Amino acid sequence: MVPEVAVERLRKACDPATLPCRDSSEMKPLEAIIGQERAVRSLRFGLGIRDPGFHIYVAGAPGTGRTTAVRRFLTEEARNQPVPQDLCYVHNFQDPSRPR
């Protein structure tokens, strides 16, 4: 039989004086992806592959912040990389599937 739990124990109370701020507006935004160490390792691994034809696929439920997290991660990683060369696309009117 499952023991009965007192109502007072169903909720955790916290002393506001122990918090580092008065309200959430004083908090700094998170810089890291929390609880996704494996995903971060996979992103780093995928970014390390420089051969053509390799891609990174990110899956997850809508609204969970995966796009925001990956964009923030990639922005930070890009700061440590050399600026890539510019690409110039020239349309090939004789064979549109083969740009010059």
d(CA 6, CA 93): 77
Q: How confident is the model over 13-25, as pLDDT tens digits?
A: 889 899 888 888 8
Q: How confident is the model over 36-87, as pLDDT tens digits?
A: 899 989 999 998 898 988 999 999 899 988 998 899 889 988 999 899 899 8
d(CA 79, CA 72): 11
Which two tokens mark 16? 């506001």
Domain boundaries, the chain: 31-80
pLDDT of residue 59: 92
d(CA 12, CA 20): 18
